[in-house]
Structure 1
């Protein structure tokens, strides 16, 4: 995960793939699609519209970049892009804002084709980065088609492929799937060897099912109870970073920081330590986050929002789309003094959270109205802590050699969302934070403490802490 502002590919010849003239002509014959946006899609699009209206800096897209060996064949890649976009039907759709509703439109897959367009020779990676910053910001809206940018930097020894798309059509897991599928489809174009990709469903079908699904009384009651406990525990406020961030009245840009938590051997050993305490690896990481909050800020409970996948049918497993729900994770630290005890509490909280994963939080907020004011400002993104185990994603063993990156854009920082990704050889934590000296200092101190807790557990099997004796925070 890399901020696009810090990304500089090697120089080379820049090529993009644009819809052919016949594809552009077919936009005039596009049909209205019967599926509504999913709950998360609508919330995302409304947030993007609110940011646009306020003139706020935001990047409502996700992107990936990776290398392929040799100089790319632009015509063969055009065929690969065509196959891939047609395969993931959400990429054939866009939304029209009527004011009262967001209406989905769609192209027929048979009408979609791409042709290479020479952008130019670039002598520096910084110039390429600046081009991408502009293109991703201006050409990825889900309110028009195409909602994505397809391109590559060509060189004799290797080529860097990039893809950016509005978040409405992908999620943090889907974007990792692009590498293997596109690589296979390109190789098929070059050699004729079948790509052998799994069948996938259409996220628009998922959205229709989600919006039309009736939530049973028991399931709804469990969701309301879990969310109410979480909400009241935090004084009817969303969770926030435990230390001061130095935020004033003016918007702040956001910065990224990264910590390597474990190499492959250490991750295996930490997982064993967690099992010795009858807990899971993810719960162990969340336990360390909670302990750091207790030791540095005197936190008496841990509260966060964590994404869970909603790919509950085989057809969604490899599909592009936003297959995510947010669930509340919270547990008390009162009376707990060891990592093992906190891990047990974190594991129990995971069980409660997973039990309501089928109830979309956006739909729940609609049902509860003012009783759950999670997002009082439509422009803001709720702070989350995400954990994804990516070791079994097809092609992940090749990511490092291919320089695979997930790219993020500029925006305004209000809190400290975190993403913990477990790869085959590395488990790392990436955090976004507001661009203030106070935030830089306190986020660094917090992440230092998280690392210290994890590695003490790794070395000694447990960690004793005093939750009632916080250190002074930087103000």
Structure 2
């Protein structure tokens, strides 16, 4: 399944309708929920709160994830309404809202409110008929940008684009509500809920645990952890190598950056200043099928013969390409790792992600086989880094900042109907981003092979395209036995 920036989505023109969730009486009719907020969610809200205080604008457009699902049949309006309502009822995180409060000493408090199933209604807003895809995507992107601001409910939006004999169903949500695995699963769930409503039968879906229950349990466990926790120790050892801060990314040229608003303003919640920094350009992105299924299998065989895992092989290839692109002696990277450690959360909508830091030695110009083995060992050594949310780790070890080099891996082959999605029936979407100091690379193993998606700064990143080219070329040569 492709994972692409919204403005690159190949959505055919048609009649655009937005489906807007609402609850009678607004948040005043919701109940106070004592379940704790996850650290991931709180950290995300802090960032949005500080952005709003600094700029007098909402923060949402840089952090939403979404999905488009294609249906090869005329759209049934009642069935879409029923499917979307059922999806909201199924996932409690879509019927909950966290209010963030802060005092002048920068102390944060969170309050959660929740509404019961069947209380969310959908307002159908007909936007208009579009005959050109670029104009359609601009409208959808702008709407999703505004609708997913995390400090408000709902921080998500559904839309449909209908044509005489087909339609596209779209869903976007702030990152605090979803992660990549959530959206891979959402393809099957939304398709099944629509067809069940159309055929007037019960939907055939496995049960789904509530992310609110997970958040509460994870929060309480994390708050009980101390500096001796394996996650805190893993991160402490990592940042100690870089003067107790996040390592810089030598692929990037700091002198060529556009000044970031966050680097120019006091971020304390009590400080409200106008944002007169120059607007930052949108990050370029790249999407490619690196290896088809046959080549991906051959690369997996190479990794196994080398004593490495597939993920280790991919990290090893990135490390070798990194060395070639910038001459660095080590490849420092942060890797998101899912925290769906129990089957209860397998089909849950939420942000089930921890972060694990790694450093791979490439000072001796290793072969890919050697780099893959080192990376595989480092995956094992660093795995505990994701056992605590990073906000809690940061509190424990006193580190600030965010990663500048991130690699994410997902294997979607076991997901329901993943072969259909991979053939073009669904795509994971993401908002455009403006960060000037981070490089993200996603690798997805799908039924059709191995896909890469990447984004990087618009300025000061001249080495990144070469790095990505070298990575792709190394994989292709290895899979072809060269």
TM-score computed with the length of structure 1 as normaliser? 0.89
Aligned partner of 1:453 in structure 2 is 474
Question: Do residues 256 (structure 1) and 285 (structure 2) align?
Answer: yes
Distance 1:69 1:452 in 2: 36
Match of 1:385 among 407, 417, 430: 407
* Aligned pairs (5 A) from 1:19-98: 19=21, 23-25=23-25, 27-55=27-55, 58-98=61-101
Please list every run of 5 or more consecutive structure 2 residues that lacks an aligned counterpart in the other structure: 103-107, 261-279
Aligned partner of 1:12 in structure 2 is 14
Contact 2:325–2:463 (CA<8 Å) still a contact in 1?
A: no
* Aligned pairs (5 A) from 1:273-312: 273-312=302-341
Distance 1:28 1:226, change over 3 A: closer
Please list every run of 5 or more consecutive structure 1 residues that lacks an aligned counterpart in the other structure: 376-380, 462-475
Deviation at 1:85, TM superposition (A): 0.6
Question: Do residues 125 (structure 1) and 125 (structure 2) align?
Answer: no
Q: Secondary structure at the match of 1:120?
A: strand
Aligned partner of 1:409 in structure 2 is 431
- How many pairs were matched up? 450
Deviation at 1:240, TM superposition (A): 4.1
Aligned partner of 1:151 in structure 2 is 159
Distance 1:217 1:184, change over 3 A: closer
Distance 1:382 1:443, change over 3 A: closer
Question: Do residues 212 (structure 1) and 220 (structure 2) align?
Answer: yes
Contact 1:68–1:402 (CA<8 Å) still a contact in 2?
A: no
Q: Which stretch shifts more, 125-134 or 65-74? A: 125-134
Aligned partner of 2:4 in structure 1 is 2
Distance 2:222 2:244 in 1: 27
Q: Which stretch shifts more, 209-218 or 132-141? A: 209-218
Question: Do residues 179 (structure 1) and 187 (structure 2) align?
Answer: yes
Distance 1:367 1:198, change over 3 A: same
Question: Do residues 201 (structure 1) and 209 (structure 2) align?
Answer: yes
Contact 1:417–1:433 (CA<8 Å) still a contact in 2?
A: yes
Distance 1:291 1:417 in 2: 17
Distance 1:258 1:234 in 2: 31
Distance 2:120 2:435 in 1: 38
1:161-188 Cα offsets, whole Å, 9 max, x none, are 1111111110121122111101001110
Contact 2:156–2:171 (CA<8 Å) still a contact in 1?
A: yes
Contact 2:362–2:371 (CA<8 Å) still a contact in 1?
A: yes
Distance 1:211 1:221 in 2: 15
Distance 1:160 1:197 in 2: 21
Aligned partner of 1:338 in structure 2 is 367
Aligned partner of 2:350 in structure 1 is 321
Distance 1:204 1:154, change over 3 A: same
